[in-house]
Structure formats: C-alpha cells, structure tokens
C-alpha cells in the first residue's frame, strides 16, 4: 500500500489537487450564504408546486374520465398520466436532496417534507419501473371496477351481491355472494406483490425504510410515534366496541343458531350485513332493543318525500349553507355523477373530486335513495366543502390538515342529522320520545363503532406487507389474523391457498391509505362535541344538532381554510381548543347505549 509522504499532510495534498482542478477549469464557486440558499430553496419549491399542480390537474381529469368510463383505452390514458406524475414527483424529490441540511424557515421546510411525501406510491428513479408501477395501478383499479360474481345463473355486479349481503338471511346464499366477490380479487395478487416491490424501492430512494413508514410520516410525528398514537386512540374506545360485539354476536346466535354463530367466538364475516363486515347497520332488525318507543326509518322518510339523488345532495348543500358556507357551484350539479348509468362500466365507489383546486368540485356516486347513502352524500359533499375552503393555500397546503380531517368533515355534519333536524327540514313530523334513544344509538353504533377496528386493521395489514413481515404466501392469513384480533370477525369458510381477500376491498387495489377513516371516526365525534359546546348545548350529545348555527360555522370554516399549511394540532386547536385527538367524545356520545349493553351482556361470555 502506498504511504503518504510524512512531510506533506493528506489535507494539504487534497487542497492542492482541488486548487489545480479549479485552475484548469471554471473558477471555484464561492460558498453561498444562508440567505442565498434560502432564496434558492424557496424558488425551487415554488416552481415544484406549480409543476406538480399542473400535472395533478391533468391526472385528476384523466382519472375522472377513467372512473366514469371504465375501458381498456381509458385505463391506458390514466396510466400514462399517472406515469408522468410519478416521474415528476420522483425527479423533484431527487433534486430536493440538494437542500437537505439547509436551515430553512419552518413553512419552507414543511413544503420540502410534503414534496417527499407527495406520492402515495413512489417509484424509483427508473423509467421502466415508473411505467410498470403506473400500469399495475391502472390494471388493479380496472379489475376491481369490472369484477363480477357468477351466481344463480348470471354475472352479478358488486352492487347486486352487496344487496344480497345487506338483505338476505339465508346463510348459504350469503356465503355464495361473499365468497364470489372474493374470487374476483384472486387475479390481483401477483400484480399487487410486484407493485409493493417497486414502490418500496421508491420509498427507500426518498429516505424511508418502506412505503408503510412513509405513509406514517404524513402525520407531523415520527412514524413509530404515530403507530403508538393509533393504538392509544383504539384503547380508549375498545371497551365500547367489545360491548357491542358481545351483544350482536349473542343476538345473531339466537337467530341463526349456535352452529352458525358460536356464543363465544369470532362472528362469521358474511352475516353482518356488509360485504366487508366493516359496518353492521343492515342487521339492526336482528339486534335492535326490544320494547321502547318506535324510532324512525330514515330510508322510508326519504322515499315518502320523493327524494332522489340530486335532492339528497341538495340537503347536504343546504346544511353547509346553514353554517355559513357558500352554495355549491352550478358546475357541481352539471358535472357530477349522481346515479349509475345503464350503458357503461363506472367505478361506483363514492368519491369527491376537485378538478381545478378552485370551484370545479364534483362527486361520483351510484346513489341509492336510502338512509345510508343520505349520510354518505353528506360525507362526500363535506370533502368538496373542505376542498373549496383551502383553495387559497399553495399546492402542498391545499389538502386536509391530515387525511383523517378530510374524512371527518361531512361525517361531523351528519351527526347533526337528529330528529330535530329532520323536523326542521320537513322529513319528520314529530320527534320520537327519549325512550327511542337506545334504538337510535344502536343504529348509529352499528355503523360508527363497529367500523373502528376495521378502520385500524386495514393499514395495520399494509404496514406489515410493506415492511416484509407479510409475504405473498402469508398475505391472506395475515389479513384474517388481524381481522380476528381487532374485530372478532372470521372468514366463514376455508380460504384457498391463492386467495387475496384484501383485494376485495376497494382501497387495497385503489392504494388509498385507510388510517384516515379510523382517525375520522374519532375526529368527527370530537368535532361534534366541540361544536355542541360552542352552541351552548346542554343535553345528550346524540340529540344535538348545530344546523343553522353560523357562529359554529365560522370557527369550523377557519379550521378548514388552514388546509395543511400548519401541523394538524394547530388546525385542531383552532376549532376544538385542544391539540390532541381524543376518543372520549365517542364514549360520551354512546354513553347511554354502553350502559344498556352492559346490562344486556351481564350473563354472557364476552370476548373471542
């Protein structure tokens, strides 16, 4: 090995070489001052925002066309637009590394972090892999949208088999519908595994261990700290869920018999009235309280008053106007998809769209005139209201404070759809007596409380997939292990070795992070409780409606207008006065029901 001359230091030699290189070429550039680096970084991030904004608008329009006209050609169009958006995001994130370590103002530093997190599924800096990732995403989405179930001599759509799950009470027919939809997801498995592999490469190039850690970095805290925060929130509401599960299982066992539903185990997933057993409202008639005053049937009220999809959307618009928000623009009514067309394939999963980051806001929904879709309509319009509220923010600030906020806005308003509200809007003639409250709360709990563990476990599964803890061979078993652990729900039959049951849920092939829905089911009650306190309400939380309260609306709007320009605790504090997410409002809302459930369950074996 060559030794350095003892008379000349290594550092001095390096300096000499550097001087020689500078002398032979361009004059060495003087180090930039902090002010110069800050100005350069600011200019870079502003240009990046503009480029991403233009690319995102184009992608959004391609995605809208594809969702409304699902064909081979529109799959190709959206894949091409997605490829360009992913490539741009990867390119800009790569260039941003130049400014790592630069002491930037908080608002600029926040935008750089948002740039690194701009892609839900990042690709590596490889054009072939970027194209492959975009193609797989489009293929998975199309496979889900066009899935059919061979049943009873015909090819049934998801809507048709979902209706069977919701209304039928024959275990064999329910199982056929449930199992058939999962068969439609089996072909996705290999593509999904390849997509995970590519996206993880992209995440590592951005400095994240994997995509799951990257997603958890979106909450203004350390990824592991966020996972602990989710567990903390779940621990606060779990006793309420456990009591509900115990009662529902006992009633289903009474109805179907203990050979179908055991009295002390997990509940078979096909018997809970929902294709994914994520909400249980459709089995209300089997588990509702006996006696007490009659409640009301929201579906019947809507149908008796000749509501259609547009009139349901109008009710949601009216509610937000009553809080002081502007009416939805004419383009919303002209360009939204309200009902399923008869002449083409569409992606029926309800969604809200913002096509220009200003006023071209729309929904896409195959609406049914029933109570469930009335609530869903408020949820989707809530997205549009939020999108409009933060339209003055720059690209990285023009989104929810975190994704759970976005999902909670319309649902918070829907909690004010009380008997008093229904009377004010002409849907109900007379409010049911307080004796009906347990039934009303039960109906809500079957949707809101039953959802909580499902909302938590979907991304628990994906975090394990992205980290490699679950492999393609264990994808399906890992899914059902988590479902049983958190929900106390099990598969109703032996699952095939090549099954990919997670793919039967839209958000898995659609690559939509799901923790937002769990957080939203916490936040909507926290928002509702705060709104009712601001309105001076002193009665039970479930009887409070803030319809027409513009003072509440003014503070609510102030939170929405912030978008993601500040860390989410600041946005939360603007409306609620607290910087912490808190599940105690969920418990307070359902307190009368919890007491009733505990009484029903006192001689039962609870847990699974």
Q: What tokens appear for 519 in the block?
A: 């957080």
Cα 434 to Cα 333: distance, rounded to the nearest angstrom: 38
Mutual orientation of helices 106-116 and 34-68 as an angle, nearest 10°? 40
Distances in Å between the Cα of 576 and the Cα atoms of 270, 399, 413, 518 are 39, 19, 15, 19
507 catalytic residue (yes or no)? yes
Cα 421 to Cα 424: distance, rounded to the nearest angstrom: 5
Cα 541 to Cα 522: distance, rounded to the nearest angstrom: 15
**Catalytic annotation, pick one of 378, 383, 507, 542:** 507
DSSP secondary structure string for all residues of 513-556: --HHHHHHHHHHHHHHHHHHHHTT--S-GGG---TT-HHHHHHH
CA quadruple 228, 230, 231, 232: dihedral sign: positive
CB half-sphere exposure, 293, CA atoms < 13 A = 11
In sequence order, the 6+-apart residues with CB closer than 8 A to the CB of 606 are 242, 243, 245, 246
Of the candidates 566, 5, 487, the residue with the CA atom closest to the CA atom of residue 274? 487
In sequence order, the 6+-apart residues with CB closer than 8 A to the CB of 3 are none
Of the candidates 504, 514, 463, 466, the residue with the CA atom closest to the CA atom of residue 188? 504
Q: What tokens appear for 582 in the block?
A: 């808190």
Distances in Å between the Cα of 340 and the Cα atoms of 159, 349, 372, 380, 531 are 10, 11, 17, 16, 35
- Burial label, 342 (beta-carbon count in 10 A; 0-12, 13-18, 19+): exposed
**Catalytic annotation, pick one of 380, 484, 528, 542:** 380
User: In DSSP terms, which residues pair with 352 in a beta bridge?
Assistant: 363
Q: Which residues form the catalytic set?
A: 380, 507
């Amino acid at each position: 090995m060559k030794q350095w001359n003892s008379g000349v230091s290594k550092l001095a030699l390096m300096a000499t070489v550097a001087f020689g290189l500078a002398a032979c070429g361009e004059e060495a550039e003087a180090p930039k001052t902090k002010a110069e680096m800050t100005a350069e970084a600011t200019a870079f991030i502003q240009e990046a925002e503009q480029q991403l904004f233009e690319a995102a608008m184009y992608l959004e329009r391609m995605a809208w066309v594809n969702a409304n006209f699902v064909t081979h050609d529109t799959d190709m169009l959206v894949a091409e637009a997605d490829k360009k958006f992913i490539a741009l995001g990867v390119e800009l994130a790569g260039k941003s590394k130049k400014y790592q370590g630069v002491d930037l103002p908080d608002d600029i530093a926040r935008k750089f972090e948002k740039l690194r997190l701009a892609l839900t599924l990042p690709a590596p800096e490889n054009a072939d892999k970027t194209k492959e990732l975009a193609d797989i995403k489009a293929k998975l989405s199309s496979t889900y949208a066009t899935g059919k179930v061979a049943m009873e001599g015909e090819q049934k759509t998801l809507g048709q088999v979902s209706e069977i799950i919701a209304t039928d009470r024959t275990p064999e027919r329910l199982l056929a519908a449930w199992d058939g939809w999962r068969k439609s997801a089996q072909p996705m498995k290999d593509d999904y595994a390849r997509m995970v592999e590519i996206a993880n490469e992209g995440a590592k190039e951005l400095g994240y261990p994997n995509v799951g850690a990257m997603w958890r970095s979106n909450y203004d805290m350390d990824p592991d700290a966020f996972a602990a925060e989710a567990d903390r929130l779940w621990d606060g509401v779990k006793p309420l869920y456990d009591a509900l599960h115990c009662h529902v299982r006992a009633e289903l066992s009474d109805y179907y018999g203990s050979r179908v539903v055991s009295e002390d185990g997990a509940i078979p997933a096909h018997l809970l009235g929902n294709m994914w057993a994520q909400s249980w409202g459709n089995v209300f008639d089997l588990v509702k309280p006996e006696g007490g005053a009659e409640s009301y049937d929201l579906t019947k009220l809507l149908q008796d008053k000749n509501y259609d999809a547009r009139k349901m959307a109008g009710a949601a618009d009216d509610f937000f106007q009553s809080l002081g928000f502007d009416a939805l623009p004419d383009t919303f009514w002209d360009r939204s998809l309200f009902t399923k067309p008869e002449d083409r394939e569409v992606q029926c999963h309800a969604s809200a769209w913002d096509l220009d980051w200003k006023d071209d806001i729309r929904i896409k929904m195959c609406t049914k005139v029933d109570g469930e879709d009335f609530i869903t309509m408020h949820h989707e319009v809530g997205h549009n209201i939020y999108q409009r509220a933060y339209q003055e923010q720059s690209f990285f600030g023009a989104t929810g404070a975190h994704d759970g906020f976005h999902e909670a806005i319309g649902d918070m308003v829907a909690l004010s759809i009380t008997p008093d509200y229904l009377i004010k809007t002409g849907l109900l003639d007379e409010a049911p007596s307080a004796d009906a409250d347990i039934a009303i709360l039960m109906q809500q709990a079957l949707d809101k409380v039953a959802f909580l563990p499902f909302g938590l476990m979907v991304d628990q599964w994906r975090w394990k997939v992205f980290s490699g803890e679950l492999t393609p061979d264990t994808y399906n078993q890992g899914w059902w292990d988590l479902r049983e652990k958190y929900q106390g729900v099990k598969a109703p039959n032996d699952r095939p070795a090549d099954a990919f049951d997670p793919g039967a849920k839209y958000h898995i092939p659609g690559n939509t992070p799901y923790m937002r829905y769990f957080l939203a089911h916490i936040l909507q009650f926290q928002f509702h409780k705060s709104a009712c306190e601001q309105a001076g309400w002193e009665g039970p939380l479930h009887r409070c409606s803030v319809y027409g309260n513009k003072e509440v609306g003014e503070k609510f709007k102030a939170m929405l207008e912030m978008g993601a320009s500040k860390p989410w605790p600041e946005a939360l504090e603007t409306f609620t006065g607290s910087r912490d997410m808190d599940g105690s409002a969920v418990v307070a809302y359902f307190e009368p029901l919890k007491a009733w459930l505990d009484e029903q369950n006192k001689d039962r074996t609870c847990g699974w």
